Structure 1
Amino acid sequence: MSKRFIKQTTAAVLLTTSVLSFSPAALGATNSAVDQAVNKTKAELNKATTHYVYPSLEEKLVSSSALYPVLNSTKKNYQAARKAVVTSKLSTSAKEAKLKEIDGLYSEKVSGGLVPYIDAYNYATEYLVPIMKELEAAQARNDFAAVDTAYHKLSYQLKGRTAILYRFSGKAARDLLLERYKKPADAKRDEMMVPVTIHMSLVKINDLLDAGKKAEAKKEFGEVEALLDRLPTAASNSFIKALLDEVAKVKVAVGEATATPQQKLDEKVGTLVKALNASQFDNITAATGASNSLIIVVKKDVGVVDFLGKGFYESFIKELGLTKVNGLDPTSKEAATFIASKFPVGTDSLEDLKGQTITLPITVNNGADLTVDFTILFQ
């Protein structure tokens, strides 16, 4: 067989194959594969929002972590379908029609549904929830400064960032997300608005008093008094009760009332804290807590006897105006024995006292006798 014949035969086969590839049968097979990819993607895209909408109809919110696999799969198959269309042998108009169809569905179901739902869920759980917990924890421990800080964080979020909670399709899921996260946050902000305003005014008043501006302080206190009727009842709210105690102290400070023995003791505790932090700064940091209490943060492990005998107990007696401990002379051996009995067995050093609370019945006299159970919390 001649080389010329072989070349002619090969050329004929290649030509035939090329022609057949453009035949209706061949094109039909190619188009069918593209249609299958497109239809599969359309079905997946149409289901994208159902993964969070259907559960919401049963009052269930789907977590973002449960939806990421759905999102990743949908994106992958959508991109594969687009590629199949673009690289197919379809006409330009047919390609454009199919791309428009799946692009429109992707925009509606993924860009306008699944993705913004995930963003909204993440925002609610990663921003609103932690701030709410921070605010409630500060409120529970009557930490006014921390309440102010958390309140302003929450207000900032609610004022400018919660639009993200409205951007996804699916009314049932949107309403449920708002009910679970935004409405409680709105309610907490409304609840704390007046207490925070009052506390901020009290801080301002104290600053004015420190600067010798008593007239301005009195004027500011008048604004505080105008807000008191808007506070929740203190009967079942320890935070409001503590805030009203602060108001009462400031009222005395601005000269609008005479200090009660309890208010005088509270003021003395503040003086004690300053004295301890000046003399015991290597060993501890002292801080005020609720009325009739003192917080000791242990910095250095020293013996309990050394701690009590080298400055602490002397300052405790002097700064508080202490006259009795459990009805005993605070400097007597009997008082020392009683105090020792209040410490847990086996306690030798401050490190052993971390997490412990010591309660002492004491009597102070700052113009009149006052007997209270005074607690010292070691941290």
Structure 2
Amino acid sequence: MSKRFIKQTTAAVLLTTSILSFSSVALGATSVDQSVNNAKAELNKATTHYVYPSLDGKLAPSSALYPALNSVKKNYELTRSAVVSSKLSTAQKNAKLKEIDTLYKEKVSGGLLPYIDAFNYATEYLVPIMKEIEAAQAKNDFAAVEKAYHKLSYQLKGRTAILYRFSGKAARDLLLEEYKKPADEKRHELMVPVTIYMKIVEVNDLFKNGKKSEAQTKFAEIEALLDRLPNASTNKFVGALLEEVAKLKTTIDYTSVTSTQQAILNEKVAGLVTELNTTQSDQATVSTNGSNSLIVTVKEDIGIPKFLGKGFYQTFTKQLGVTKVNGFNPTSIKALEYTAAAFPEGADSLADLKGKTVTLKITVDNGSALDVEFKITFE
């Protein structure tokens, strides 16, 4: 075999190997480039799925976006894997990975995905609370409104930042207009009514615990807020709340009047004690140890009619400002019969009354009528 033939054969083999090797690398590079370009094209379209509808004044529901999200995430991961496993140089791999990573961060992590999260938050949190408030207001259920109001306030104060985290101003503005703005307005509308309702609850609790003075002070805080309420003529819930305030005011006014009248009566009882001890001390001495009560310490055993008729009954009714005894004129036969019947059966004299208490239902009027059960205890 000639040397020339051997050289030609060797050259041909080397050339063929070189061509095949180059073609394989070139083909691989072309395939990766195509995958990267396809991924970039899909990534660039990611935000258009919600941005384009918003330009027409429509919000794309999250349910319609999941197919696009799943597709772009899947193809992004596949393309990334293809680049990493390709025969490209390290520098080429890093360059291509940077391209698709940057686009993914911008279009998916900063666009499509947070838009879906924002839409889901608005529809799964704000919308149900707003419906809860609407239903409670329709029934004038003040406690339920208060509960839902606090839930809404919690969301608006600490969680609505999620509504601002995606790109696309038109879509963001539309989402805020449709969901956050009504929620903000509802919270503002209910702020004073809920505060008033909470104070109503406080006032009632104070009354139940006998803290009437504190209740009156707290009610003054309610009255100071009334001018800040929304217009009751256009807000039925506020109208119903004002009815509750009016009921409470009636109780407060009655309590105030009662308290004043009771204080006057207490002073008159003290005066009655002095008067009776001056005029009837030979028969009994009188004292008091509490509101609406007398303690009669018997000194002379005389008949009950004589005790009453000698001056006790007349002084008692006149000094205290008694206008009715069991609903009757103090000097009427029925009032006198009621008084006599109030004494224990079988008791004829003061001695028989020792250790016993007589209760009389009387009405006193020292500027305003006050009904009391007056107790007279004999010792």
TM over 0.5: yes
Partners of 2:80 and 2:20 in 1: CA distance: 22
Partners of 2:172 and 2:187 in 1: CA distance: 21
For the 8 Å contact 1:209–1:254, the answer to whether it is kept is no
Offset, 1:236: 2.6
For residue 254 of structure 1, give the secondary structure of its aligned residue in structure 2.
Answer: helix
Partners of 2:225 and 2:188 in 1: CA distance: 14
Against the structure 1 CA distance between its residues 76 and 232, is the aligned structure 2 distance closer, same or farther, given a 3 Å change threshold? Answer: same
Q: For residue 76 of structure 1, what is the amino acid of its counterpart?
A: K
Against the structure 1 CA distance between its residues 225 and 25, is the aligned structure 2 distance closer, same or farther, given a 3 Å change threshold? Answer: same
Against the structure 1 CA distance between its residues 216 and 19, is the aligned structure 2 distance closer, same or farther, given a 3 Å change threshold? Answer: farther
Partners of 1:176 and 1:155 in 2: CA distance: 21
Offset, 1:24: 2.0
For the 8 Å contact 1:252–1:258, the answer to whether it is kept is no
Q: Equivalent of 1:189, from 187, 190, 207? A: 187
Partner of residue 54, structure 1? 52
Is 2:86 aligned against 1:88? Answer: yes
Residues 1-379 of structure 1 correspond to what in structure 2 (within 5 A)?
19=17, 23-255=21-253
For the 8 Å contact 1:52–1:62, the answer to whether it is kept is yes
Offset, 1:254: 2.0
TM-superposition CA deviations, 1:294-333 (whole Å, max 9, x none):
xxxxxxxxxxxxxxxxxxxxxxxxxxxxxxxxxxxxxxxx
Partners of 2:169 and 2:191 in 1: CA distance: 30
Q: For residue 125 of structure 2, what is the amino acid of its counterpart?
A: Y
For residue 169 of structure 1, give the secondary structure of its aligned residue in structure 2.
Answer: coil
Against the structure 1 CA distance between its residues 69 and 16, is the aligned structure 2 distance closer, same or farther, given a 3 Å change threshold? Answer: farther
Against the structure 1 CA distance between its residues 148 and 108, is the aligned structure 2 distance closer, same or farther, given a 3 Å change threshold? Answer: same
Offset, 1:242: 0.8
For the 8 Å contact 1:31–1:90, the answer to whether it is kept is yes
For the 8 Å contact 1:144–1:199, the answer to whether it is kept is yes
Against the structure 1 CA distance between its residues 206 and 86, is the aligned structure 2 distance closer, same or farther, given a 3 Å change threshold? Answer: same
Partner of residue 303, structure 1? none
Partners of 2:140 and 2:99 in 1: CA distance: 58
Against the structure 1 CA distance between its residues 74 and 18, is the aligned structure 2 distance closer, same or farther, given a 3 Å change threshold? Answer: farther
Partners of 1:16 and 1:38 in 2: CA distance: 33
For residue 56 of structure 2, give the secondary structure of its aligned residue in structure 1.
Answer: coil
- Percent identity reads 68
For the 8 Å contact 2:192–2:225, the answer to whether it is kept is yes
TM-score of the aligned structures, taking structure 2 as reference length: 0.62
For residue 23 of structure 1, give the secondary structure of its aligned residue in structure 2.
Answer: helix
Against the structure 1 CA distance between its residues 147 and 17, is the aligned structure 2 distance closer, same or farther, given a 3 Å change threshold? Answer: farther
Partner of residue 272, structure 1? none
TM-superposition CA deviations, 1:25-74 (whole Å, max 9, x none):
21110000000000000000000001100110110000000000000000
Offset, 1:235: 1.7
Against the structure 1 CA distance between its residues 47 and 256, is the aligned structure 2 distance closer, same or farther, given a 3 Å change threshold? Answer: farther
Partners of 2:24 and 2:219 in 1: CA distance: 89
Alpha-carbon RMSD across the aligned residues, in angstroms, is: 2.1
Offset, 1:129: 0.3
Against the structure 1 CA distance between its residues 91 and 21, is the aligned structure 2 distance closer, same or farther, given a 3 Å change threshold? Answer: farther
Partners of 2:214 and 2:255 in 1: CA distance: 17
Against the structure 1 CA distance between its residues 155 and 118, is the aligned structure 2 distance closer, same or farther, given a 3 Å change threshold? Answer: same
Partners of 2:173 and 2:255 in 1: CA distance: 50
Partners of 2:193 and 2:137 in 1: CA distance: 11
Q: Indicate the larger mover: 236-245 or 68-77.
A: 236-245
For the 8 Å contact 2:212–2:255, the answer to whether it is kept is no
Offset, 1:21: 8.6
- Unmatched segments (≥5 aa) in structure 2: 1-9, 258-379
Partners of 2:20 and 2:162 in 1: CA distance: 51
Offset, 1:237: 1.9
Partners of 2:254 and 2:228 in 1: CA distance: 21
Offset, 1:18: 11
Offset, 1:253: 1.9
For the 8 Å contact 2:62–2:119, the answer to whether it is kept is yes
Partners of 1:72 and 1:16 in 2: CA distance: 48
For the 8 Å contact 1:20–1:26, the answer to whether it is kept is no
Q: For residue 110 of structure 1, what is the amino acid of its counterpart?
A: V
Partners of 2:149 and 2:238 in 1: CA distance: 15
For residue 65 of structure 2, give the secondary structure of its aligned residue in structure 1.
Answer: helix
TM-score of the aligned structures, taking structure 1 as reference length: 0.62
Partners of 1:17 and 1:206 in 2: CA distance: 101
